[in-house]
Structures are given as structure tokens and as C-alpha cells.
Amino acid sequence: MQVRKGSARGSPHAFIFTFLVLFLAFHPALCRPGYGAISKRDTATSNQEGGIGPAAIPGQSEAESPIPGLEVSLTQVKTPSSSPPVVTVTVTNRNSFPVTLLTYDSPVDRAALRLGIVLVTPEGAAGPLELPRIQFRRVWPPGPEQLVTLAPGARTSSEIEFDDGIFDDPAQLRGAKVVVKGRWKAVWKMVKEDIGRASLDDPDGNPDAYQGEFQSDELVMVV
């Protein structure tokens, strides 16, 4: 029986396969991020892009937050001479313990109408008006006059005057829906005399201070 010797040359398929393996292994363009190579990336940035919020401050839990126990309500001051219209914003402490509020950018900030936290939607409009805003330079750290302590069940109020200098057409207020919406910069579960200096200096990074959203009930203006 005659034995047939194998060819010294590899098959064309084997040659092509070897070429592809070497090409994929050493071609630099395929080793840049996004093509299978692992690249380092800032975790915080990646989480923000993915819609993941920052981690909670150590020592805090949502169950302990006093913010859900803060009720924000609106009432219109109705007097024969109330022109321009005036709305009273009230924050009531529904918690079983005292809380202290930082008034900056809060519902009871006296500059609320200029801060963008008062949403005014004219009757029949699809969305709120674009009201002019002002950036304020705040005293920091805040002093005692910027802090309000509320005992359980207590409340604090502030008035918003809807003056003609902000609204091009005062008739827009007739039947308009008003909501106060924003974010608490700092809320403490203690009286203001017990707040430490470090917590006042940096409430965002201190476990004694809480931040979170607020939103009032909806008020329909009578003009």
C-alpha cells in the first residue's frame, strides 16, 4: 500500500485563521477604550452619567430624615387692599422632635420669588412662566438669624408679594396655579443652639444635616 505524504504547506483556511489571530492581538487601533480594552474611569462620574445618585452620608438613613415631616402649604392673603397679590408660605414641623431649618433657598426665604422656586402656571398654560432670577451672595457660614428652630407641631411663615415688577401682565395671575418647589439646603434634628460649627460650615458633608426635596400644595390665585 502506498502511503501519501502530507503537503508541507498548510491549508489556505489555516493560514487565514492564523493571520486574523495575529492581527487582532497586535493591531493598536483595536486596543483603545471601547474596543475590548479595559480603561480606568472615575466611578463617581460614571455613576452620575448612569443616573445613580451619590452615596448617602455615613451615619444617615432615609428613615431617620426629618424632611418628610416638614409640611409646606400656601394660602392667599385676601384683603380689599391686597394689590399686588400676596401669598403666605407656611412650613409646619410634623415630626415628633424639634428641627432647625436653614432659610437659604427654602420655602420661607424672603427672596423666594427671585430664586426660581416659585412656579406660576397661568390658567390654560402648558407650563410655568419663566420668571427672572437673581443670584444672591449669602453670608457663610450662616448665622443664627438664618436658622429657624421649630418645635413639634410648630410653624414658620413668610409672605411672597407678586409685584408688577416681575410679571409683564398682572392678568396672568388670575386663576394661575402656584407651587413652591425646591431643595432644602440643610435641616437639623436639633435646636439651633446645638448645631456644631463644622455642621454649619459644611452641611452637605456632615451627618447631622439633612438635604432633600420640598414641594407645597397647589394654590389657585384669586385676583
| CA distance to 2, 105, 125, per residue, from 109 (Å) | 103, 6, 27
Does residue 134 carry a pLDDT above 60? yes
Would you state the pLDDT for residue 4?
44
CA-CA distance, 220 to 119, in Å (whole number)? 12
> How confident is the model at residue 178, as a pLDDT?
96
Domain boundaries, the chain: 66-220
Contacts of 182 (CB under 8 A, 6+ apart): 105, 106, 107, 115, 116, 117, 213, 214
Q: What is the pLDDT of residue 169?
A: 75
Site of grid cell 408660605: 89
| Residue 13 reports pLDDT greater than 60 | no
CB 222 within 8 A of CB 187: no
Whether the pLDDT of residue 119 is over 60: the answer is yes
Residue-level pLDDT at 15: 52
Residue 54 has pLDDT above 80, yes or no: no
Residue 29 has pLDDT above 80, yes or no: no
What grid cell was written down for 57?
452620608
Say which range, 147-151, 170-174, 208-212, has the weakest mean pLDDT.
Answer: 170-174
Highest mean pLDDT among 47-56, 122-131, 206-215: 206-215
- Does the pTM surpass 0.75? The reply is no
The pLDDT confidence band at residue 126, using thresholds 50, 70 and 90, is confident
pLDDT at 1: 44
CATH entry, 66-220, from 2.60.40.2470, 2.60.40.2970, 1.20.1510.10, 2.40.30.40? 2.60.40.2970
Q: Which residues of 74-104 are buried (b: 16+ CB within 10 A; e: fewer)?
A: bebeeeeeeeebbbebbbbbebeebbbbbbb
Model pLDDT for residues 70-110, shown as the tens digit of each residue: 999 999 987 655 578 899 999 999 999 999 999 999 999 99
What was the pLDDT predicted at 34? 31
Q: What is the mean pLDDT of the chain?
A: 77
What's the pLDDT tens digit per position in 185-215? 999 999 999 999 999 999 999 999 999 999 9
Q: How far apart are CA 138 and CA 111, in angstroms?
A: 12
Residue 159 has pLDDT above 80, yes or no: yes
